[in-house]
Structure 1
Amino acid sequence: MSLTGDLRGNNHTYLPQGGNNIISSALHWGPDPANDNWWQNNEKLSALHSTYSGKYHTFGLEWSEKYIFTYVDTRLLQVLYTNFDKPFWAKGDFPPSTPNGTSLVDPWSQTGRDSTPFDQDFYLILNVAVGGTNNWFEDGMAGKPWVNESPTAKLDFWNARDQWYPTWDHGMEVKSVKMWQQKGHNGC
């Protein structure tokens, strides 16, 4: 289970989804990778009259026993808000089994908390992800030089670097990372 915050490295002219003028957040959760229901709470926020690469921004996360949300620069500019108002298994509306017939079992109900699986310690990871075969960059759109299902997708991506590299803002700059925890707060 994880929370992601994504910002494409492509410039703002990247279509159809946008580039460095769009930020998104999603919770990744499901009983297995094939049933990751990130799409049920993937939210995007457009920059107003600018991009997110022109200056430093505060990308924040507030996480409690009742909700989790992400924001940009101020808590008022929320990107994603997920209320822990019912169990994630019920939110998922998962199929009874995988395509090969393996039963899907609720791994979270034993806690009795609606916030499970987001009621445990997690790690902060900052990275620059490129390419990908999870449809974040849709096949056939904006001259994408690889196909997700290709056995050589990573190589195809690399071989096309002269095409995509010039469209990127090159790199990730981090001015600071700060984390706080409420006194006496256990769990989340």
Structure 2
Amino acid sequence: MVQQNCILLGAPLDSGKRRLGCLMGPDAYRTAGLVRALTDLGHTVTDRGNVAPAPYTPGEHPKLHALEETVAWTQSLAAAAEAALKDGTPIFMGGDHALASGTVLGAMRHAQTLGRPLFVLWLDAHSDFHTPESTDSGNLHGTPLGYVTGREGFGAFPELPYALPHDNIAIIGLRSVDA
């Protein structure tokens, strides 16, 4: 095993859906002993604490849940991912998979800077390929792959450096796909 410099970043994002609780994810990973588990494997670990969302003003939408907050998290997490990738292997601790919009965006920016392609391994039972228009629930946690692949309707989100090619994504565990 190659020793890694693991950089832990908490992402207490809880805006991608209406049911609350994901903001406790970073503390749960820390309490469960993630640092010790990684160091026992021979890795170095730096915990950079929790990321906070960029400033935002909440809005009201007839369909979407917490759009402005999720966009603010996307901005902050992209910057944190891009910075951490310069120093090692970032591990984002959260629970709400809306955080992937920002973490993958940051990885895309980093890969582009290096002139390398980005490949994404998506471990999920769902494809998360919705757009803000196609989500029936209004929850944005089902949209990260739709966003990073350049689907239409993400005008409020940060601009992508490029659309992540579908051939660069492998989804494992997929069992539930909407029409």
TM-score range, shorter chain: under 0.3
Structure with the higher helix share, 1 or 2: 2
Higher relative contact order (CA 8 A, sep 6+): 2
Calculate the TM-score normalised by the size of structure 2: 0.27
Q: Which has the larger radius of gyration?
A: 1
Structure with the higher strand share, 1 or 2: 1
Calculate the TM-score normalised by the size of structure 1: 0.26
